[in-house]
Structure 1
Amino acid sequence: MAFGLILTGCSKPVAKQQANSIHRYIADNLIDADLSSDAKLAVTLSRTRELSVWDNVSKALLHQWQVEDFDEPTYLVSLSGNSQYLAVTGKHRVSIFDLNSGRLELSWLAQGFDSDASISSLFLNQNGKRVLLGMNEGSVISVDLESKQLSMFQLHDGPISHVEFLSYDERILSAAHDGHALIWASSNGQVIKDFSLPLRITSISFDEAERRLFIADALDKHIIVDSYSGKSIGQLAFLDRYRYFRQAIFVDRGKTLITASSKQKIMSWDISSGKENKHWNITAFTAGTTVLDMAINPSGQLITLSSDGALESWDY
């Protein structure tokens, strides 16, 4: 078991770096965005509700939909793990697109336990056949598109900020504004692990083995735990008060954690010591730019997609 050290006094300057490449897809702020797990595709949803799918290698536009193509304003996007399907939601309506043809596969209205509840988070599974919807009244809806079955569980007391399938869809990870991150059985809603922090969860990430779990809240609290035993396996060492993490991704088989702040800063951390390896800033085209998603490409580079619509590659 490895615990990070709380650093005091002076420390060596942390190395900074420049992006290996940068490409801005659109000159507009994004409401939401998603990178495929291999970083080969990017989805951008602009402030004008223009929805686009891009090839990150050629930078070609593959598909595009305009605001009038939807029955209500769209807010959330999610690519399937195999990059074959795209889920899009407004506050109430869910739409699934086939990315081979660009056609709309199906669309429906989602309703939580509260009839006035709206969708606050979205996840599409590996093959694009199961959808998770987090609702703002604390419920999670699981939809099997092949069997046409729907399950709904109320496990949180506030808006759901994150949902994802684990273990071949047998388990679900959900996090909410109530400060709880839960791992639970998708079949019956039974809670397996409950991790809690004082404030709403702002960032959460698993390593590839679904063993190491990073959770951070809206102030400066965070934990790195073994998801099976629940025991701490590390602590990031930083002096700042109010360190806010917006995104996080484990790399190097869980040995390194990369985090993005609410502003432009990216940080790379050594999990065994808790020390920061390096930090750098993404390219900002507007004052409020931040990282919306991160992924590792086949070449082993970190790919970031910002709220300015800028795709950048980095050595971490």
Structure 2
Amino acid sequence: MCRYVIKLLMSCLFMLTLISCGEVTKNPQSVFYRLSKTPIEFGVFSSDAKLATFVSHGVLTVTKADGSGILHQFEIGGSKVTGLAISKDSTLLAVSFEKFIVVWNLVSGAELGKFNMSGNSEFAKISHIALYAKPLKLLVGMTDGTLNLLDYENSLTKQVNYHDARISFLALGPHRQLIISAGHDGLVSLHDANTLASTYQYRMSKRVTSLAHNLQHNLLFVSDALNDQVLINPFASQVEITKLKYKERFRWFRAAAISPDGQYLATGSSKYWWTLWHTKNGQEIGAFAIKAASTTALILDMHIDKQNMLATLNSDGIVELWDINTLVKMNR
């Protein structure tokens, strides 16, 4: 009887959650590719979303995102993966574990090197990585807020403390002149990539759970773990801040992507749907259910190309394509 009551209450709570988030629409195009028959623990797209890499049952797989073929598979055992990254030109792959990073050449499939990483604290572990080729550079965030910048070709490593807690996001800006970082201390920062000096900071009330930028890096979306989700132009003469507008008390944003032209924002939730927004005013356009093979599927990574085609990668190993232009017209 108790089990029946618990199930009934859970079902009611689930239905209330659906209702509170508004109507969830299915994909009108229904274009999807199943990349893995088993759930994936960690997964990311390449910068053009033509490749995807993911971890499942101790195997790291690099595959074409349209399901047309596996490029490489690497045995990594049972060690905990903390980060994945493909270089912008799709020639290098990095996977981080708690204390070290392995880099592979995706052209030859050969291992390029293994790099041990540390923070200021002896207990610090790797929390986030970003990888760049020609020349090879690694940005490595640690759980104690330390950032390591590894310049492979010059055998140079720089270390600086940007944050007071775990680093959750790292990227190099246009022409590699800026470093963008965010952490569980709620701080979003821009830094000069050469001097590592801070050039801009924005403070969230809680830990940052997702961050995205457009092609020019002049529009940032930042979400914390409670109810603060903002769009920021950090380079405007007067910093412009737009808040997302929704009826609920709070929402959880796990992944995000901004269209290259800066018009639209896509956000992934902790459930099996994602939401499309206008960046100009923070208004919601619509919510859309992902293609899933289980009830626990959620989006791991998102990418929007110049034609406003959104690609989503979920924890069931499914890549789904969405035409944002069509979705906008549907929801006018």
**Which residue of structure 1 lines up, in the alignment, with residue 267 of structure 2?**
259
Structure 1 gaps of 5+ residues are 1-11
Work out whether residues 92 and 105 of structure 2, in 8 Å CA contact, stay in contact via their aligned partners in 1. Answer: yes
Deviations 1:203-248 (A, max 9, x none): 1111111111111100111111111136224222111112111111
Q: Which amino acid aligns with 2:318?
A: A
Aligned residue among 286, 293, 299 for 1:291: 299
Tell me, in whole angstroms, the C-alpha distance in 1 between the residues paired with 2:257 and 2:139.
21
Residue 52 of structure 2 corresponds to residue 42 of structure 1: yes
Q: Secondary structure at the match of 1:182?
A: strand
Work out whether residues 92 and 133 of structure 2, in 8 Å CA contact, stay in contact via their aligned partners in 1. Answer: no
Q: Which amino acid aligns with 2:278?
A: D
Q: Secondary structure at the match of 1:168?
A: helix
**Which residue of structure 2 lines up, in the alignment, with residue 64 of structure 1?**
73
Work out whether residues 311 and 322 of structure 2, in 8 Å CA contact, stay in contact via their aligned partners in 1. Answer: yes
Work out whether residues 67 and 73 of structure 1, in 8 Å CA contact, stay in contact via their aligned partners in 2. Answer: no
Tell me, in whole angstroms, the C-alpha distance in 1 between the residues paired with 2:71 and 2:308.
24
Structure 2 gaps of 5+ residues are 1-21, 325-332
Post-superposition offset of 1:101: 0.7
Work out whether residues 171 and 184 of structure 1, in 8 Å CA contact, stay in contact via their aligned partners in 2. Answer: yes
**Which residue of structure 1 lines up, in the alignment, with residue 253 of structure 2?**
245
Post-superposition offset of 1:298: 7.0
Aligned 1:162-311 pairs, distance under 5 A = 162-229=169-236, 231-251=239-259, 253-297=261-305, 300-311=308-319
Residue 156 of structure 2 corresponds to residue 146 of structure 1: no
Q: Secondary structure at the match of 1:54?
A: strand
Work out whether residues 125 and 169 of structure 1, in 8 Å CA contact, stay in contact via their aligned partners in 2. Answer: no
Tell me, in whole angstroms, the C-alpha distance in 2 between the residues paired with 1:198 and 1:21.
38
Tell me, in whole angstroms, the C-alpha distance in 1 between the residues paired with 2:28 and 2:58.
31
Tell me, in whole angstroms, the C-alpha distance in 1 between the residues paired with 2:308 and 2:265.
14
Greater RCO, CA 8 A, separation 6+ = 1
Q: Which moved more, 1:94-103 or 1:52-61?
A: 52-61
Q: TM-score, normalised by structure 2?
A: 0.85
Work out whether residues 258 and 266 of structure 2, in 8 Å CA contact, stay in contact via their aligned partners in 1. Answer: yes
- By percentage of residues, which structure has more helix? 2
Post-superposition offset of 1:67: 2.7
Question: Please, what is the CA RMSD of the aligned residues?
Answer: 2.0
- Structure 1 residues 231 and 14: CA distance shift in structure 2, 3 A: farther
**Which residue of structure 1 lines up, in the alignment, with residue 330 of structure 2?**
none
**% of aligned pairs identical?**
28
Post-superposition offset of 1:30: 2.0
Q: Which amino acid aligns with 2:95?
A: V
Tell me, in whole angstroms, the C-alpha distance in 2 between the residues paired with 1:259 and 1:125.
25
Tell me, in whole angstroms, the C-alpha distance in 1 between the residues paired with 2:207 and 2:110.
37
- Structure 1 residues 281 and 128: CA distance shift in structure 2, 3 A: farther
**Which residue of structure 1 lines up, in the alignment, with residue 130 of structure 2?**
123
Work out whether residues 49 and 73 of structure 1, in 8 Å CA contact, stay in contact via their aligned partners in 2. Answer: no
